[in-house]
Amino acid sequence: MLKLLRRLLLVLLVLASAVGVAAWTCPAELGYRYFGDRIAPVKLHGISGSVWHGHADSAELLGQNLGELDWRLRPSSLLQGAALAHVVLAGGDVVGNGTIEQTADRQLVLHDVEAQLPARIAAPMIDVPLLQLLGTIEIRLAHARLRGYTIADAHGVAFWRNAGVAGAAQARLSDLQFTFATATEGQVSGTVQDLGGPLLASGAFSANAMRYDAKLKLAPRDNNAQVAEALQFVGQPQPDGSRELLIEGRLLGF
C-alpha cells in the first residue's frame, strides 16, 4: 500500500511538473486569444514569445498605434488572482515603460508609467492648422485605474518640453506643465501653467471617455515679438491683449 502511494505521489509530481512547464512555455499568442479581452481598451498585434516574457509588434490604445511592446509577467501576482507585468514600449512615436496590473475583478491598473511622444501627435486635438507643434511631451502617470473605458482613478503630470511652433509663424514657447487627477469617477481634470519663458500660459482642462475640453489664456511675456506673431493664429483676442484658446472634441467616436 505504501509503495502504491509513493508511486501515486510520483505520478502526481510528474503531472504537476508537466503542467507547470506547459504554463511557463505557453505561447503568448495563445494566452492573448483567451485572455486578451481582459486588458481592454488595449489591443495587441503580432504577438510572439511566451505568456511570461512576450513581445507585440503593435500595441493599440483607443485606435492609436503606440509601437512595439515587450512585457515580463510576475508569476507571484497570479496567486492573488491578478496579473502584474512590467512593460516597455518602443519602436514608434511613443516610448515609455511602467507596470500594468490586471486585477482579480478585471480592472486595469497602471503604476509609475513614464512616456514620451512628439508634440505633433497632439496637433489634431488642439486644431491650429496653420501652426506645427514642436518639442516633446513627457507624461508621468503615478497611478491610473480603468474599468473598461472608464477612468476610475488617475493622477499624474505631463510636460511639453522645448515647446515651439513653426509654419505660418515660428516661435520658441515656454515649457508647459499639465497637472491632472480624477475629480469624480470617469472625469479627469487638470491645470496648465508655463514654467517661465517667452509665453505666459494658464488654464484648465477636463476629459472623460466621450469628450475633452480646455480653456487657456495665452500671452507673450515681455512683449516677445515672435510669440505675439504666433498667437495671431491661436484662439480669440481679449481686451487685455491676451488670447483665449478654447479646445474641445470627442473621444472614442461618440
Buried b (16+ CB within 10 A) or exposed e, 129-140: eebebbbebbbe
72 and 166 housed in the same domain:
no
Give the closest residue to 146 by CA, choosing from 40, 248, 26: 40
Q: What digits encode the pLDDT tens for the residues 105-164?
A: 778 888 899 999 999 988 888 888 899 999 999 999 999 888 777 788 899 999 999 999
Question: Quick one: 192 and 98 in the same domain?
Answer: no
The number of folded domains in the chain is: 2
Q: What does the pLDDT read at residue 69?
A: 85
Domain end (from 75, 106, 137): 106
Question: Between the ranges 11-25, 100-114, 200-214, where is the mean pLDDT highest?
Answer: 200-214
On whether both 124 and 100 belong to a single domain, the answer is no
8 Å CB contact between 88 and 194:
no
Residue at which a domain ends, from 50, 80, 106: 106
Measured distance CA(188)–CA(169) in Å, rounded? 32
**Domain end among 106, 128, 158:** 106
Residues of the chain by 3-state class (helix, strand, coil), percent to 5: 25, 55, 20
Instruction: Provide the domain limits for residue 71.
Output: 26-106
Output 25 or 235, whichever has higher pLDDT. 235
Sorting pLDDT into bands at 50, 70 and 90, what band is 252?
low
Does residue 33 carry a pLDDT above 80? no
Q: Could you tell me the pLDDT band of residue 180, with boundaries at 50, 70 and 90?
A: very high
The distance of Cα 111 from the centroid of its chain, to the nearest Å, equals: 11
| 3-class DSSP assignment, residue 82 | coil
Q: Average of pLDDT values for 91-106?
A: 84
pLDDT at 245: 96
Beta carbons of 127 and 137 less than 8 angstroms apart: no
**Phi-psi region at 86: left, alpha or beta (left = phi > 0; alpha = psi -120 to 50):** beta
Based on the fold, state whether residues 100 and 156 are members of the same structural domain.
no
Tell me the average pLDDT of the chain. 81
